[in-house]
Chains A and B, each alone.
Chain A
Amino acid sequence: MIEIKDLHARVEGTEILKGLNLSIQPGEVHAIMGPNGAGKSTLSAVLTGREGYEVTSGSVTFEGEDLLEMDVEERARAGLLLGFQYPVEIPGVKNVYLLKAALNAKRKEQGLDEIEAPAFMKLIREKLKFMKMDNSFMHRAVNEGFSGGEKKRNEILQMLILEPKLALLDEIDSGLDIDAMKTVADGVNSLRTAERSILMITHYQRLLDYIVPDVIHVLVDGRIVKTGDKSLAFELEKKGYDWLLEGAA
């Protein structure tokens, strides 16, 4: 699905990613953990092509294509979607408009006609229900006045409708109460298929009880310093990152 090789990236002249390697196969769920400021969100920004993040060396191949050559929206249409750590509010733009525009942009890329209104409404109602969101969310402005948990649910709702090939989820669990955590996890789990991959960034082992990853990576100071199976999360929970920091230095 995605192959990241020796990736170096800078933000405002400071090197943040310092030779990162990561490979995810179709159908796999990977988790990235690591201390604050390690470069986890930077990685998601670099992968999605955000302005201001300069790749100085290394390569990223997404489904055989050179991802770094693609524009932001091309990456999204190719199936790389990011669930934001801090979803932004867009006043006056209804959730349903954004979703429809996004879905149609993707369909256009695939040579399909725009989705018919009734089919779209049916789809969105179904997914709202799955995410335990009221229908009124359709007509509210994107994320405007949403609670922290509602914003996160809205991110997953978009994933359910846009069906990415690779979903990047940046701290999708932060700010969620127990029930919301379960709903979000159900949403993510429903995305799991043999073809689709998921890369989630989290600080807490708890999320991994709900969404059990195949592989866990530890990102410290711009590099993956350790990779293991789900038991690694328990070890981190107990020991923290210090023992790995020493190894990385």
Chain B
Amino acid sequence: MASEEMEQLVRKEYKQGFVTDIESDTLPPGLDEDVIRHISQRKKEPEWLLEWRLEAYRHWLTMKDPQGWAHLSYPKIDYQAVSYYSAPGAKNKDAPKSLDEVDPKLLETFDKLGIPLHERAALAGVAVDAVFDSVSVGTTFKAKLAEAGVIFCSISEAVQEHPELVRQYLGTVVPHTDNYYAALNSAVFTDGSFVFVPKGVTCPMELSTYFRINAANTGQFERTLIVCEEQAQVSYLEGCTAPMRDENQLHAAVVELVALDDAYIKYSTVQNWYPGDEEGKGGIYNFVTKRGDCRGDRAKISWTQVETGSAITWKYPSCILRGKDSVGEFYSVAVTNNYQQADTGTKMIHIGEGSRSTIISKGISAGRSNQSYRGLVKILPTAKNARNFTQCDSLLIGDQCGAHTFPYQEIGTASAQVEHEATTSKIGEDQLFYCMQRGISEEDSVNMIVNGFCKDVFKELPMEFAVEAEALLNVSLEGAVG
């Protein structure tokens, strides 16, 4: 293990758990059509978007909270107790136009999180959009990207600057009728990122969005839309953290990806929302709908995720493989410790002929946590010669945690080829003893073995973030053994 990772190990607590003391324009808790009108108005949205939101809201009212559907248990969420809009800065002040107008306290917050927003200091070759509570506070390297023809900005800004693009694609991958949280998100989404890579362009740098929930009792409902036209390519990474608070906070995001002919979107997530304390108090409820649409032939969408945070995770990044010979990939490491619960997995919907998908899921449960993998591979009759390979491994640390696997397959053509492998193992006492007999501490030994278990997924992450992901994993597993 590298020395930086070793150092990370000795830091015990959730180190992103601080609160930024900053004035904010926060709506009182509660949700009705007026709240939605207020959000839309604050964001100076066009009429069609307000209508779009209201339609989603009205549909949401007719839907049932899916609580109890997944392998999760948590108290009923009171959606009227949540505040649906919080923006840093005083009321009635316009959003900052450039980084120089951003409150220094905010920049400091992101510095502390290791996400310097000043372009000078920014990670080499990575453009960053930062979302603080409900609002994007700044996007770096905009000019450089514009030169290449790439649009990378907050979705609010995109609504103002590129309304035709937003209108063309928004909700086409995840319609508001899709599920309860998608409907809620469509009604109240406040910010998120927008990426558009035009035909034939390979985005010249990694794009990254950093989400931060700060205000108390605030829900975060971001909406991300990424479109790659023909032969375009982009690699995008999102990172998430939140302060430590005793109450649970709600996060219900929607991410839509559209890949046209020969386009390639690589979407990586390092999710480290506050997971709650050792007794299971507090933490983020993370209900996310992520879906990619391989709309064109030979389009490719790849999801890579490292999930260590949140009290509850409900998340199934999926691919609709519509194009001929399109490719979907899902690489996931999910770690749960203490009282965390996760129900996660993926859906691969094969429609196009010769479409292929790969699913590699590594679940690590420690403490009293519970984790489920839920995966659907659906091959429609049109998807002749479609192929799927699924490998789904669970690692248990201790004997009070649980791992469950729910693979679903619907195969509509005899020419399809579907392989599924699944293993569940306890962290090997033999392996631990072997490492410790070489003088390596128990904690480092566990980390080493777990990191080894996750190698297949980590190698899919962009280089800059692989190390971060490993370190994060180590921190999440502190105290898991012994």
Contact = CB atoms under 8 A, between A and B. Distances in A.
A50 interface: yes
A88 interface: yes
12 contacts: A48-B437, A73-B436, A73-B442, A76-B438, A90-B434, A92-B454, A93-B451, A97-B448, A98-B435, A98-B448, A100-B1, A101-B438
A114 B434 contact: no
Contacts of A93: 448-449, 451-452
Contact of B433 (A50, A97, A141, A162): A50
B193 to A, nearest CB: 32
Contacts of B455: 91-92
B66 interface: no
Contacts of A142: 434
Interface in B407-457: 428-431, 433-442, 444, 448-449, 451-456
A140 to B, nearest CB: 12
B438 A162 contact: yes
Nearest to A73: B436
B98 interface: no
Contact of B440 (A91, A92, A102): A102
Contact of A109 (B6, B431, B439): B439
Given A82-B437, A90-B434, A114-B3, 20 more contacts: A51-B433, A72-B433, A76-B437, A87-B434, A88-B431, A88-B434, A90-B431, A91-B455, A92-B451, A92-B454, A92-B455, A93-B449, A93-B451, A101-B438, A101-B440, A101-B444, A102-B439, A102-B440, A105-B441, A142-B434
A105 B439 CA distance: 6
A204 B428 CA distance: 31
Interface of B: 1, 3, 6, 428-431, 433-442, 444, 448-449, 451-456
Interface residues of A, number: 30
Interface string A211-248: 00000000000000000000000000000000000000
Contacts of B431: 88, 90
Given A88-B430, A90-B435, A105 B440 contact: yes
B428 to A, nearest CB: 7
Contact of B436 (A72, A92, A158): A72
Nearest to A100: B1
Contact of B438 (A50, A92, A98, A109): A98
A62 to B, nearest CB: 14
A81 B437 contact: yes
A130 interface: no
B439 A76 contact: yes
A101 B444 CA distance: 9
A91 B453 contact: yes
A77 interface: yes
B428 A88 contact: yes
Contact of A72 (B437, B449, B452, B454): B437
B444 A105 contact: yes
A158 B434 CA distance: 12
Query: 10 closest pairs, A vs B, by CB?
Result: A92-B452, A93-B452, A92-B455, A102-B438, A76-B439, A105-B439, A77-B439, A72-B436, A88-B430, A73-B436
Contacts of A100: 1
A76 B452 contact: no
Interface string A66-78: 0000001100110
A106 interface: yes
Interface centre among A82, A101, A102 (most CB of B within 10 A): A101
B434 A84 contact: yes
A196 B451 CA distance: 35
B91 to A, nearest CB: 52
A164 to B, nearest CB: 10
Contacts of B1: 97, 100-101
Interface in A86-127: 87-88, 90-93, 97-98, 100-102, 104-106, 109, 114
A137 B73 CA distance: 47
Interface in A141-195: 141-142, 158, 162
Nearest to B434: A88
Given A98-B448, A101-B448, A162 B439 contact: yes
A93 B3 CA distance: 16
A141 B437 contact: no
